Amino acid sequence: MLSFDAVSAKLARAKAHGESLSRRVDQDLYEVPEGVFRLVPRFDLDEAKCWLVLEQVAHPPMAEWEVILGDVLHNLQSALDRLVYELAAKPPPGSEFPIFKDRAKFERKGRGGGAYKTRGLTTEMQAAIESLQPFDEPDHPLWVLQQLSNADTHRLGITLEIASGLPVVEGPHWTDAQVVGHPRWEPGSHGVGAVIATYDLKFTGPSPDVEVAFIPTINVLIDEGIGQPPRPLIQVLPSVMEKVESIVSFLRKVPS
């Protein structure tokens, strides 16, 4: 009788690490007394303008987040590979769960091809695994897992940005200045050094200043380091984990 205890244990470990990462990120981002980001005024006395510029004042331990993320990815990939071993009566060397975006590469019977990696499985199981492949789907959760797992070895990183939309701002409270017209808020997401808002001013004293309380929504992004747009952590991990769990459940029901 097949035993999937090791597969289940790896999935449970991935889920535990994922929950730990989520708690750690929230704690490191939102429980910092001074906040992670602030808006710094930049005045132009000649043009009578003020720009609010995004500045990072605290630096969360993102290297530690990356280690936890790597553990999640490793356990998810390992669960799929172990599943192939469990499903094969006598798994030959090189057996593992194949993930291919290119159908021709999946069908290769030589070393490294999908057919090679699943050659120890029944025809029915091989067909089932083929039906799960992310052929020509670059955003498929399985392909995302493959890309992130490969990147984790050398170049996977985590970055921060302010979420698109207007941030929650208390104030601003001006000294020696009055606002003329309406502020112009910059749309889209923002990184450090970005101008968030522009004010036209009338100066009423010699030392213009402004106090503003800034409460942003922070996006945590996974950067694969290969020129692709970073992926939002809050979306990527749940979708990948759900896909792996559904694959395990599906393949356990296929006659082997």
Q: ∠ at Cα 91 (90, 97), nearest 5°?
A: 145
pLDDT in tens, 241-253: 999 999 999 999 8
Phi-psi region of 225 (alpha: psi -120 to 50; beta: other; left: phi over 0): left
- The count of structural domains within the chain is 1
pLDDT at 2: 62
Neighbouring residues of 113: CB distance < 8 A, sequence distance ≥ 6: 98, 105, 106, 107
> Is a pLDDT exceeding 80 seen at residue 54?
yes
pLDDT at 1: 47
> Is a pLDDT exceeding 60 seen at residue 21?
yes
> Is a pLDDT exceeding 90 seen at residue 224?
no
Average pLDDT over residues 193-213: 93
pLDDT in tens, 141-190: 999 999 898 887 667 788 888 876 666 677 789 999 999 999 998 877 78
In a domain, 130, yes or no: yes
In a domain, 235, yes or no: yes
In a domain, 256, yes or no: no
Closest-CA residue to 80 (of 95, 68, 93, 66): 95
pLDDT at 226: 66
pLDDT at 220: 92
What's the domain range around 77?
Answer: 5-251
In a domain, 163, yes or no: yes
Sign, Cα dihedral of 94, 150, 61, 238: negative
In a domain, 197, yes or no: yes
In a domain, 112, yes or no: yes
The answer to whether the CB of 141 falls within 8 A of the CB of 133 is: no
> Is a pLDDT exceeding 70 seen at residue 227?
no
